[in-house]
Amino acid sequence: MHKAGLLGLCARAWNSVRMASSGMTRRDPLANKVALVTASTDGIGFAIARRLAQDGAHVVVSSRKQQNVDQAVATLQGEGLSVTGTVCHVGKAEDRERLVATGFSPYNVSKTALLGLTKTLAIELAPRNIRVNCLAPGLIKTSFSRMLWMDKEKEESMKETLRIRRLGEPEDCAGIVSFLCSEDASYITGETVVVGGGTPSRL
């Protein structure tokens, strides 16, 4: 095969993968699915909640504060999305029980333990045709990470540590989660996807 033909074939294949992972090839890839997302009124969780709902899932938004739940739900419902919400403060037993009743199990785990939990749950839930995957975000521009990029000097310093010379946006995480929830990822379970801009440190 000529080099030009091979490049064209690769370009078409990559375009198909890109469109599939972004949900462009079919409508509502997450229809008939329910997703529980811990989210406030902005940041990674909120972007994920919006993307999953846009892709057809019914999303249950969880936060420690009722006002955050109300605002997130109102914003997303105002966009015509199927979203409800529940308060969960992990220090309160009744909140944890309510969250479990909504469809989520262990909640307050450390980030490192979550990696092992992902592997364990993937094994335990596979016979029920339930897949479990994990997202490990790097430096994403949210209010939580503001201290790391709040001034230009700090931001430029952080960019120097990344192979992709920019900080992540919440939407960079949302598309990956939507893909993992879709049928396109039906053969993926027990995995942790790092969205870190090529940071040298790994899990």
In DSSP terms, which residues pair with 168 in a beta bridge? Answer: 140
The residue annotated as part of the active site, out of 77, 107, 148, 159, is: 107
Among 17-21, 39-43, 174-178, which stretch is predicted with the lowest mean pLDDT? 17-21
d(CA 82, CA 97): 23
Asked if 187 is an active-site residue, the reply is no
pLDDT, one tens digit per residue, over 144-157 is: 777 778 878 878 88
Tell me which residue of 35, 31, 99 sits closest to 64, measured CA to CA.
99
Look up residue 37 and give its two tokens.
């997302």
Asked whether residue 171 carries a pLDDT value surpassing 60, the answer given is: yes
For the segment 43-61, the average pLDDT, to the nearest whole number, is: 89
SS3 41: coil
Report which of residues 96 and 187 the model is more confident about: 187
d(CA 147, CA 101): 36
CB atoms within 10 A of CB 149: 19
pTM of the model: 0.56
Asked whether residue 18 carries a pLDDT value surpassing 70, the answer given is: no
pLDDT, one tens digit per residue, over 80-128 is: 998 888 887 767 777 766 665 557 444 334 566 778 888 999 999 999 9
Give phi and psi for 64, each to the nearest 5. Answer: -70, -30
Look up residue 13 and give its two tokens.
């294949």
Q: Could you give the percent of the chain with pLDDT greater than 90?
A: 28
d(CA 13, CA 178): 20
d(CA 33, CA 195): 24
Asked whether residue 33 carries a pLDDT value surpassing 60, the answer given is: yes
The pLDDT of residue 90 is 63
The pLDDT of residue 143 is 80
